[in-house]
Structure 1
Amino acid sequence: MSARGKGMSGFGALFRGKGKSQDPTAEDRAAALAARSQNEASKSAERASTDSPQGGDANGRIVLTVTEVNNAHGLSLVTLQTPNEAPLEGYEPGCHADFYLESPTGEELIRQYSLFPMSHADAEGQGEEQGTYGISVKLEDDSRGGSIAVHNLSEGDTVAISTPRNNFGLATEAKRSILVGAGVGISPIYSLARELKRQGEDYTVLYFASSKERAAMSHLIDEYLHGQTKSIFATGERDKQAGYINEALAAPDVAAADTHLYVCGPQGFMDGVIEVASHALPQQNIHWEAFRSSEETLAGDHRADGPFEVTFLGETYQIPEGESVLDVFEDEDVPIMSRCQDGTCGTCVVKVIEGVPDHRDSFFTEEQHENGAFTTCVSRALSPSLTLERWKNL
């Protein structure tokens, strides 16, 4: 998942390598990697200690129990509970976590899903959170196993997750918030809206779905956000989305500089909302979260499709056509963190210090790209070579 308008801190860590080493400095790098991995393992173990109400598995992951599953119309609404019904450590409105799932063939999969509260606090947001959270997942036609695994969950199953992280948090300076969600993109929008309601802030929610039957969270919207949400349930209504967005933006008593818009949903839908909002709001007041990079973003500039050279930590690597910088780094056992493989999480970031990159991620902002952020999993080079260094703010 990715979100614009946020900093680059808080990245998760997964080290991957393919066991090949012809580099004379590989032993030094391996030692550095081992030390770094041990440090992370120690931190994970500390988080998973018995003193923590969250508990955890042997890898320091938080283990949640599935208490309810509702599958209908290709959508799955899963309710999860923490071990001691305590608030989930690291949870914030708008956050997501890595879910460690098992594919039909037994392979471990890592997928990112937005978390939202499923507590039985009253409609005014009062009452204790009972450590109960939800995820909403669409069964994708081209699923690589993640959505299938979620749809196969049953009551009583356990699911391991990472500590949640947030790239889609609320802007504290906003005096008015417009929240727009389509399909399962309503998940983080719902969590943001519940927090705004709890704070007594000014907000409006627009909920788009192709039909009421496919609006898996409509009962939650009706219960907790009644009166603040306009639901648009009809195929083709998205063609009229500009009108709905402009209507929501037309608040004469709140300045554009004090209004923030948040959107989550399919890429084409978000592009349309962002385009409309860009005519009314400052760019930095528009926030979005993507499930995957668009085909256009991943395609990049065709001039960068060919081979190029990368210099990193004093070593030079040849990046052939059809392989990413990350692919080559993994083949050469270069220690680097990675996670999403499609430019949506920012984990594999390094810094460009020389050369012209072709940015193909949908995580970093234009300003962050200008400051050198480069995603090794998808981005390439328009120049014959790039010189890279580690990003110092991880």
Structure 2
Amino acid sequence: MLRILLPLALGLTLPPAAVQAQTQLATGTAAATAATPDPVAHLVGQLDLSAYKATIKGLTQFGDRRQGTARNRAALDWIEAQLRAYGCTPVERLRYDFTEPARRGPVALQPRRAAGPAAQGGGTLFGNRAAIGVNADPMAQPDERLRALNAELTPVGTSPRESVYCTKVGTTRPDEMYLVSAHMDGLGFGEAANDDGSGTALVMELARIFSAPGVSTERSIRFILWNNEETGLNGAQAYIAQRKDLQGLESPPGSGRYPEPRWLGLIQHDMLLFDHGMPVPQLDDQGRPKLDARGLPLYTAPKEQRAEADVNIEFQINSKQADASAKLAWHLRSANEFYATDYPAAVGHRMTNTDSVPFMDLIPAVSLRENERGMHIGAGWNPHWHQPTDLYSTYSDKDFLLGLNAAQTTLAGIAQLAGAKVKPQP
């Protein structure tokens, strides 16, 4: 009964079918489980590993989708076409101008350093640390085809940019909305398969499933693919600047249409595939630790997904909406408990450096990711972050399955919050 009592103790509401199923398991009763059909389980069952992988693969045809480039614009067109094909309409673009700062030279990898305060969100970095950095050198990409695809650099100066989104309009509360998001731009002169093809594909897959015939929701859901995350969360900031004051306004009056429903919460997805654990020492042929020029040990990430891999759900403890964001995080944690198939979820309180941050003082906002952003990514747990090695071919099915479990978690949680229903199709 612990699987039932813990969520209830946290003030969370579980779907009746989930409570029924867990009660039967706990008590050993043989009551028929089909007595109360569960629309959440039905929707989660529509997720498929091969479809998720195919969407990530489709995104990688545009290289790293670096902001301000033709490949970024081509990726936006492809995403929009996919959303329209799913029936997720209306599909819209958010347009804004962005001024690119002067171009910098390659950013050197930072060596392992002593434990200290994390860059944002507080906390301390513990344990083994590998080098981190942002690759800004196109020649670091050994694949000539990919190097040519990523050859165009972001133009310096002011240029128009766009994010794309589609909306599932609610049947009874179209004036209220949850936002489900990820960023589609990338860096590093690879394919940005994980950062953030993994999150973009998740949002697109949820848009596909919620747009299927017979699926309705009481509240609206907006599926947003941000641009310019890598330059400072600029796409999300532009959205807030342009649309915050339009929330809940009926247009035209009496039409029952709400171009910007009132925001109830935001769930962001940013890097979902790689949870291989703490870096381990590099060893020479004799099994001795390798040392750098200063005599310090060199570390590298384990090759396999760790047995303890999980989906990290983060909120920011210092935000004005911390309490409500924590409740949203634990709701998703409960959804994972009942509907995810392979990997558990963990809740943390140091959300930082992703597109949910501009929203965190306005509405409940959380981020789903592979590792804790401030603790693990900052300590070099993912050697492919912003590197030429962020390629589709880098990741195994175990890695992709972690991303799929994040999709199961968000789909189940948002289906409950938005009041999803499924009408059987002939």
> Which TM-score applies when normalising by structure 1?
0.23
More helix, by proportion:
2
Q: Choose between structure 1 and 2 for higher RCO, CA contacts under 8 A separated by at least 6 residues.
A: 2
More strand, by proportion:
1
> Which TM-score applies when normalising by structure 2?
0.22
